[in-house]
Amino acid sequence: MPGSGTSAFSEVEDFAAALRAEGVRSLVVTGAGHFAARLTRVTLPHLDLAAGEERLSRIAFVAGPPGRVLISFPLDDESQLIWGGMELRAGEIATFGPGGQAHARAEGPCRWGSIRLTASDLAGYGKALLGAVSVLPGALGRWRGPPRLAGTFAGFTPRQFVPSKPAPRG
């Protein structure tokens, strides 16, 4: 069923629980300071979208969602995201196939986006957009777009939305 929502988090455990749908099995914050994060989700019939913003460094253990491909990418030039030892830069995406496992690290504050869909839907969208998809993601892969697209996600700058004080719980 289609839907959308945005949540702000001041507790690591609550954020980790919300990220389970993204395949996150555990989350450890490694940075010092006040924890704050925001997660926005959009659910469509064949596609799930998410955008996150985190204030502190962290390491997450991620398992590919059953029957789905997870696509993740930084939303700006400053975010330092490292998937399975591969650093992602603006204009690059990490693809993560069903059943794969990896550690995802964020070095400092970060903004990221993700897409979840079936491999057959990814192949269909790839064919419609590119004419063909020659390789579907396995456990973990990094894809780079053509240079003309390198700044596409980096230019997307919604207002800053991480709260400066803890969100009320209840």
> 3-7, 14-18, 110-114, 137-141: which range is least confident on average?
137-141
Beta-sheet pairing, 92-96 with 69-74: antiparallel
CB 93 within 8 A of CB 116: no
The rounded distance, in Å, linking the Cα atoms of 71 and 75 is 13
Query: With 50 as the cut, is the pLDDT of residue 155 above it?
Result: no
Q: What is the CATH number of the domain that holds 52?
A: 2.60.120.10
Residue 41 domain-assigned (yes or no) = yes
Owning domain of residue 94? 3-147
The rounded distance, in Å, linking the Cα atoms of 111 and 81 is 9
Tally the domains of the chain: 1
CB 61 within 8 A of CB 23: no
Residue owning tokens 């300071």:
33
pTM of the entire predicted model: 0.78
